[in-house]
Chains A and B, each alone.
Chain A
């Protein structure tokens, strides 16, 4: 399909010549894979079933941390669940793991919906992160016992019966189930590949999970429709879960803190750290996982734009809340500002601003940074660390206030928090519980990627169908098929 380039009008001819020259030597073109489809399946299955020595060591380390943390948790649980402060760091770790892990499938869902071409190797890693929600759920059950019931409290449940415990547990189980469902449905074709070409325990497990998938057009349509429906449901559910956790475990524990943007900001923060985690996982897969042929700078070029946008949104949502509180000068709101930003927890707040906003913004506005693999990865690590500090700030802050103002817990219109408690630093037990939580999450993710291929075979193969290379005005460029 060659066009007669000579007959083209001068203006438009020059547009494209100019554009290509503008790119200079670093003419960037998206990657077009050219190997046969069967090889894709082979490569990915091989990489996802080998467990090297480093992998096994890491697995052992994370497993060990989890067991140690769990043991410390049992010891502390014997003191009961009466005070908030002793569980503050566990809540912070839960908040970090859960919001990061459960926000990750949104990345896969939304990118699939807008049909971005570079998402294909990244979608599965995003979906796999939601298995860490299982560890999160384990941590959550004791935490939900801490919450007082909703009688005469300023919670979003107002006067609903059974609140908040029933709804929190239902929401948690719901979101973990939905996340696993999305992972499962999206992996069915790949599990069929394992069933047909894999070996050992993987083959038999895959046979049980994807026994009847044959790849007929009807089955493909069904999978895509199911993913769309699950995706929309997941989105709605996730927003609800963020709202619930942010309001029950933070907003309602601090007297006078009435903040409508906080749950939305919490959701954006979770999304930001989820995208960061996905980018980090993609980089690790590229470097150490043996997937070098399937991951290129395309993924980082595309995802880093989203990470930049989310970092800007993070700052914007925070500012829109802060502006209202700061300008109004109402005593209840000034007390909240002092607690979370100006006095007690200003150190984790400063870390969060630097790591979640300053570093991503200053690095990712440069095209050259976004077109590399290492810069977005550095930014991802910065965001993950920053989110961790931020969760400590929110949850340890709220939990210590809940203890200091235990009188205000069942007081619908309690007076302002007049004296901020000093920042609560982690003790040894807290550190063990943090490491245990993180270790557990990493352990289960690492196990999952050795069964569910972290690069989606069917999506990558489908992508190959929609791309062609052709010559255009002295260059080779990619042509993207847009089927609908």
Chain B
């Protein structure tokens, strides 16, 4: 049942094998890597062109119009903030819960978080009418005419929360990277060695330094948890506090968005890990056990998300108000929203979760890749279905009801954001080992086994 990979007979063998296998992709590059990065860079350039065109011509190049003033760009923003929640879930929460299987996944999750947040925060700036002013007017400083930003606005809470989360995630990643930077420092030459020496901050591996490292890890894990919950709650309040959009004015939005974010984020990390495993030959580290445990976590998270989804719809329609019913009618029965809804509910929950109930599916890399990609397709559509139909059927004054068709510029921007995040993850894998070396080594040391009767039970040494 548990496939424990035996990496070596002595601890030294284990150590050097881990170093060799996990650092290969950092120090040496295959050709297929360059092809993939090149392709992604092309897509990013295309998206960049689209953005440039939009800034030059105006928001008119998009498909937005009254009453649907927010469309693909804001959907994408919420989606990427959602993806960013994986880092804390897998890194911080599982560290505090002492789940051993998290070890290979933590660094990739944190990296996905950082890049997802960086991408997410671009979109509110780009979608505004005058982005050249937005960039600095949302800061808590009276840049123009002595007026501070309006702290009552959720659009000011947003950048505050996201930059806090981004800063703490970067700190989290960098602090966890220090021992690995030291390993890199000791194995490179020249300019690279100089840079790593600075980043490693004098790490020697003494007991005192390890003690500080471990305490820092626990503290950062605990402190980042409230940030993690509050970020997506604040993003959900962009919509929730809008009393004029009936579909958005629901009290359940904050936990609904957070749990949806964990669902889509953890799925995204599974996708990223399976792809990286293929790309960098990490068969010994991202094992069937890892994806099995992640699949089980996903079942729980997905079901919790589904509960909130059902509650949200039930509680919006149970008072049988005309405006709400008209909105749900549009979401569920009117084409093309009905097709989008069907796709979303199937790919977001009803295809992946029943599949994940089977151990064979959870332990198959191909199936986990397929199901987690489906989940994220579904979750992107879910954000779209919350935002656009809500605006299209705002209130009972039906004269202004409308629909929405995205333009090619918006589609390019969305595709570009996916390429941007993927490209950044691949580029950073050249600087930083995406599986934490010391975490995996620590896991190997703590592995043990004992006999009960005739059976040999795998075990872990518990430090507390």
Contact = CB atoms under 8 A, between A and B. Distances in A.
Contact present between A and B (CB < 8 A) = yes
Interface of A: 1, 3-4, 7-12, 14-23, 28-30, 114, 117, 154-156, 158, 239, 243, 258-264, 305, 312, 316-317, 319-321, 323-325, 327-330, 412-413, 465-466, 468, 470, 472, 477-484
Contacts of B312: 260
A374 B357 CA distance: 41
A15 B442 contact: yes
Contact of A320 (B96, B215, B251): B251
B457 A466 contact: yes
A18 B252 contact: no
A260 B315 contact: yes
B334 to A, nearest CB: 22
What are the 3 A-B residue pairs with the smallest beta carbon separation, nearest first?
Answer: A320-B254, A328-B243, A260-B315
Contacts of A470: 448, 461
Interface of B: 1-2, 10-12, 15, 96-97, 100, 179, 205-211, 214-215, 226, 229, 233, 236-237, 240-243, 249-255, 307-308, 311-312, 314-321, 438, 441-442, 445, 448-450, 452, 457-464
A317 B255 contact: yes
Contacts of A316: 229, 233, 254-255
A30 B311 contact: no
Given A154-B319, A158-B320, A262 B464 contact: no
26 contacts: A1-B449, A4-B11, A9-B12, A12-B15, A14-B206, A14-B207, A17-B207, A19-B211, A22-B214, A117-B462, A154-B319, A154-B320, A156-B318, A158-B320, A260-B312, A261-B252, A264-B252, A323-B240, A324-B237, A324-B250, A412-B319, A413-B319, A466-B459, A477-B462, A479-B462, A482-B100
Given A12-B15, A239-B307, A479-B461, 14 more contacts: A8-B11, A8-B12, A11-B441, A12-B441, A16-B445, A18-B209, A19-B210, A156-B318, A312-B226, A325-B251, A328-B241, A477-B462, A481-B452, A483-B458
Contacts of B205: 10-11, 14
Contacts of B461: 470, 472, 477-480
Nearest to A465: B452
Contacts, number: 180
A477 B459 CA distance: 13
A260 B448 CA distance: 48
Contacts of B12: 7-9
A324 B242 CA distance: 8
Contacts of A480: 459-462
A19 B463 contact: yes
A260 B438 contact: no
A468 B255 contact: no
A29 B240 contact: no
A403 to B, nearest CB: 21
A477 B190 CA distance: 44
Contact of B318 (A9, A30, A154, A239): A154
B11 A3 contact: yes
B182 to A, nearest CB: 8
A484 B1 contact: yes
Looking at A29, A305, A479, A484, the one whose CB has the most chain B CB atoms below 10 A away is A479
A252 to B, nearest CB: 9
Contacts of B226: 312
Contacts of B308: 264
Nearest to A325: B251
Contacts of A18: 207-211, 214
B462 A320 contact: no
Contacts of A472: 461
Nearest to B459: A481
B448 A479 contact: yes
A243 B252 CA distance: 13
Contact of A29 (B233, B314, B464): B464
B278 to A, nearest CB: 27
Contacts of A21: 207, 211
Contacts of B209: 18
B148 to A, nearest CB: 19
A7 B11 contact: yes
Given A4-B11, A15-B438, A264-B308, A412 B320 contact: yes
Given A1-B448, A264-B311, A9 B254 contact: no
A266 to B, nearest CB: 12
A297 to B, nearest CB: 11
Nearest to B250: A260
B459 A468 contact: yes
A302 to B, nearest CB: 10
A472 B459 CA distance: 14
B98 to A, nearest CB: 10
